[in-house]
Amino acid sequence: MSAGDSCPRCAAETISKRSAEPWCPACEWSLDRFDPEQRSPELGWRWVDRRLFRTAFWLTERQFAELKGAPEIGRGTSAARIVTVAVSVLLLAAVAALLATGIWLLTYDFFSPVNLLGALLVLIAVALRPRLGRLPEDAHELDRATAPTLFALIERVAGTVGAPMPDVVLLIADRNAFTITIGLRRRRVLALGAPLWSVLDPQERVALLGHELGHFVNGDVRRGLVTQAAETTLGQVAHLLRPAKRGSGVVETAVELLARAAARFFLLLHLVLVWISMRDSQRAEYLADEMAARAGGSDAAIRLLDQLLFGDAIDTVVRREARAGHSAAAWRAAADQARNQLSVDVVAYRQLSRRTEVSLFASHPPCGSRAGLIAARAGRPAAVQVTGADLDRMDEELTAHYERVRRELAAA
C-alpha cells in the first residue's frame, strides 16, 4: 500500500511522512508496523528487532492508556522500581563482598600467591564501583552575577514545581537539556543546550525548566546512586569477560568460548535490567511533563515537545546560521520558520513518532505520546509568566556564552 490509498479498516485516506510506511491518521491502522528504514537497529538482527519493536509499542501504548485514565501521575512504587532497587542492592552487596574478600586475601599470609588473587579481586571491585559522575566537558558554567534574570527564573520555576535549586547551571553546545547529580556531595546540575534554549519562546523556556527541575523530585529510579548499579554493573562485567583476542591453542580456544558465553549471558541480564528500569523512567518523564505544564502552561509544554519532535530540522537551520556567523536571534528566526512549515502536519508527525521513537531501551516515551497525554488532561494556565522583555534581557546576559557556542557549532 502507498500513501493516498484507502484504509482497509475505515476507508480514510492513508498518509506517509519522511518516506515512512503509510498509516491511517483516522483509525491509526498500520501505525504499529515495523519500519526498519525509519529506526536505528536495537540488537542488529531484523527478526529480533521486529519482535522487540512490537513488544515496545504494545507496552508504550498500554502505559499511555493507563496514565491517560488516571486522575494524576504519582510517584507510586511500581513493579519495575521494586525490581530495579532490589537488584541494585544485590549488585552493590556483591561488589562490596568482592572488595572485602580481595582485601582479606591481600593481607592473609602476606607475600604468598593468594595475595595475587586478592589484588585481582580488588581491581575487579574497583572497576565495578558505582560512578559518582562529573561535569560535562566543554560546558560553560553560568553564575547569578552574570545571568541574574535566568537564575531568578530558575528560582521561580523551582518553587512552583517543588524542586530544589541546582547547585550548578551550565550552558552546552548540544541541542539538549538535562539534569544530573554528581560527586560525593551529590551536587545538582542543570545543563541547558544553547541551540535549544535560544530558540524557545518565553513560556516554552519556563516549561523546559519545569520539566528538567522536575527530575530532581519525580522519583526517576535511574537517577539514584544505589540504582545506578542496575544500569552499569552487569554491562561492565560483560565487558570485562569479553576476550580481547582469539586464542590459538585448544585450551585457549575453549577458555575464549566460555568467556564469550559468560559475557553474552551477563550482557543479556544487563539488557533485561535496563529494559525494566526504562519502564519506570518513562513514567517519570510523563510526570516531569506534568510539571512542565504546571509551570509554563499546557500549551507551552506541548509546543516544547513539538520543538523536540522537529529537532533534526531545527538543528540543521541553527547550525547553518551559526556557520554563517549569525547571532542567537537569527537562530530563533530560522527555527521559527522551520517549525511553522512543519507545524501544518504536526498531528501526523506526532503519530509517526509513536512508531519511530518507541523502544524497550528508550528513557523517554515518544514525543507524540507525551504531547497527547498533556492534551488529554484539563488545560493548565502558566504558574510562571515570562515576558518578551524578560527573554530579551536573559539573552543579552548570555550573549558572550552564545558566541562561544556559536564558534563551537561553526567548527563542528
Global pTM value: 0.90
What is the reported pLDDT for 245?
Answer: 67
Cα separation of 125 and 122, whole Å?
A: 5
Q: Indicate the SS3 state at residue 183.
A: coil
Question: Which residues make Cβ contacts (< 8 Å) with residue 251, sequence separation at least 6?
Answer: none
Cα separation of 290 and 214, whole Å?
A: 9
Cα separation of 310 and 23, whole Å?
A: 20
Distance of alpha carbon 287 from its chain centroid, rounded?
14
Cα separation of 195 and 115, whole Å?
A: 54
Cα separation of 176 and 189, whole Å?
A: 14
- Tell me the pLDDT of the chain (412 aa) as tens digits: 567 788 999 999 999 998 899 999 999 999 999 998 888 888 878 899 999 999 999 999 999 999 998 877 776 667 777 888 888 889 889 999 999 999 999 888 777 888 889 999 999 898 888 877 788 888 899 999 999 999 999 999 999 999 999 999 999 999 999 999 888 788 999 999 999 999 999 999 999 999 999 999 987 777 777 777 777 888 888 888 887 766 566 777 777 888 888 888 888 888 888 888 888 889 999 999 999 999 999 999 999 999 999 999 999 999 999 999 999 999 999 999 999 999 999 999 999 999 999 999 898 999 999 999 999 999 999 999 999 999 999 999 999 999 999 999 998 7
What is the reported pLDDT for 203?
Answer: 97
Give the residue among 86, 76, 120 at the shortest CA–CA distance from 283: 76
Cα separation of 199 and 177, whole Å?
A: 13
What is the reported pLDDT for 208?
Answer: 98
What is the reported pLDDT for 175?
Answer: 92
Terminal Cα distance for the chain, rounded: 41
- Is the distance from CB of 199 to CB of 180 less than 8 angstroms? no
